[in-house]
Structure formats: structure tokens, C-alpha cells
Amino acid sequence: MKATLRMTLLPMIILVLTAVIGYAQESESAAPPVEPPPPPQTESAPVLPPEGPRFTLDESYIAEILEKVKQNDPNEAQRLENLRKENPGLFQVEMRKLAFQQHKGSREGMGPDRTGRREARIGAPEDESMGLRGKERIRDRLQNMEAELTSWLQKNEPGEANELAALKGKDPRAYMRRLSVDMKKYREIIDAEQTNPAMAELLKKDLVLKQKRNELLEKYKGATDEKQKTELMAQLKEVTSERFDVVLQKKQLKYEDLKKKLEELKQNVTKSQTELENYKKNKEDLIKKHLDELINQAGQFDWD
């Protein structure tokens, strides 16, 4: 009886399973393919540059930076404008430092939400168009940095420049790694050439001495003959002594630069103090003038 029942039910089960499988296949072919969810985004370190090889910021970005500085400190903005005319190289260096500070501050004001996207702490999502413009700016700056470093190497380190050029066509990934190392290695020298040529020469000399020291140190560690080790140690001592003198000269230049900046700061403090006293004395006149501007502004053409 049980065997007969099983024989009876078996065709029915097969029929039902066939219908279910066929329906599932039809549904799969009819429905659009479901794309897998995108992997969660992870926060990455900023690429840009507060510090790196010297490169030129575009005028629109400089204008944005100066406008922010002007809102916080008009005197500092005026100082930067004067510096732009007197020393364009140093102006670019200070602009890059300000750009890095503003970029760092904007990132600190952002935080990842539960989906992994970076959102402002107040909860508003980051503007995608601004994100695209930011990426374009970063890309442009990196390209400027690469071009300027390559140009500097061709002039000062032609052997290194040729090796980089060959590596770029042969192995792009290795080229980018090597480029990153060279940017870190030469960036201080490149910047110093624009702001302090004497410091740039000392940095070049120090770089050569460090490379020589490292070579001698490797030879000393691998030497087995005591006479050879004694000779290498004498050479190491001589190179270390030369480098000590170079380091002292670098510190002297930095000290003189700090004294100069301190004197400029004192002058700015005196100037600000004088302005503050004048504001206090002319309070009534300044208030009257500002009220006239506010009242007469109505009906004038809005230039904003």
C-alpha cells in the first residue's frame, strides 16, 4: 500500500518541481539583472599637498584662499598681496601652506556616515559637483608637480631624469613609486631655490654627504678586514664632520630667517595697535560714515 502511494505521489512531485523551476527561470530571464551593491567606501588619506615639490597654484584657487584670509585677517591678506609683488616664489610657498591648512580643516569638519560616505557633521551630504572639482584640482596640481620635478631633475640630476623617463614607459607603477620618492627627496631643495638660494645650496650639499655616508656605512658593515674597517671608519668620521658643519650653517640660516620674521611681526603688532587706537578715537565718525553707507545703499545698483 505504501509502495503504491509512493509510486502515485512521485510523478506529481516531479511535475510540481518542474513547474517551479521553469517559472523561476522565466522570472530570471524577464527581470533585469541585479547589480551587486557597491563596496563600502573607506576613508582615505588626502593626496594634496600642504607640502610637496614646488608647483604653481591656479589664479582662481589663489583668489579663493586670499578671500578667506581677508575675511579673517585683512592685514594678513594685504601682507600676502604685497608679498605676491615683491617675491612671487615665496608667495607661492605660503599659498600652498594655506591651501593645505584649509584642505585639512575641511576634512576635519567632515565625518563618515553609516554608509561610509563622507558627510558634514551637520548631516548634509557632500556636494558631488564640488567633489568633482576638488578631484580635478588635485589631478591638475599633481600633474604640475610632476612636470616641475621632471624639469628640475633634467637640469640638476639628468641621470635620475633619464631613469625616470625610461621607467615611465616600461613600468608605470614603478614610475609612480619612484616619482613619489623623488618628490620627497628633492622637494625642500626645489622650494628653497625660490625663497632662499643659500639654503638650497646647503641642502644639495647635505644630500650628497648623506648619500656618501650611507654608502660608507654599508661598506663598513660588510667589511671583514680590520685594516679596511679602520680606513672606512676614518672616511665616515670625515664625512660626518663635514655634514656637521653643513647642518650648523642650515641652522644659522633658519635662525636668521626667524629673526627677520620676528621683526616683521613686531612691526605688524605696532601697526595694528596704532590702527586700534585710531578706531577708538574716531568711533563717532566711523559710525556716522557707516550709517550713511547703509542708508544710501538702497536704490543703488547691486554689484554682488
Digit-coded pLDDT (tens) for 147-205 = 888 889 999 889 999 999 898 889 989 999 999 899 899 989 998 988 889 999 999 99
More confident residue, 256 or 79: 256
- Are 223 and 232 a contacting pair, CB within 8 Å? yes
C-alpha cell at 54: 614646488
| pLDDT of the residue at 287 | 93
Determine if the pTM surpasses 0.85: no
Measured CA to CA, the distance from residue 229 to residue 258 in angstroms comes to: 42
Average pLDDT, the chain: 76
More confident residue, 261 or 6: 261
Query: Does residue 86 have a pLDDT over 50?
Result: yes
Terminal alpha carbon distance of the chain: 96
Query: Does residue 250 have a pLDDT over 80?
Result: yes
Query: Does residue 59 have a pLDDT over 70?
Result: yes
Query: Does residue 118 have a pLDDT over 90?
Result: no
* Per-residue confidence band for 273, with pLDDT thresholds at 50, 70 and 90: very high
C-alpha cell at 284: 563717532
Residue 83 DSSP SS3: helix
* Range list of H helices, 87-225: 88-108, 128-156, 158-170, 172-195, 197-222
- Are 186 and 194 a contacting pair, CB within 8 Å? no
Measured CA to CA, the distance from residue 51 to residue 94 in angstroms comes to: 10
Residue 110 DSSP SS3: strand
Strands 110-112 and 118-120: antiparallel
Burial of 173 (0-12, 13-18, 19+ CB in 10 A): exposed
Q: What is the mean pLDDT of residues 243-253?
A: 96
Query: Does residue 9 have a pLDDT over 90?
Result: no
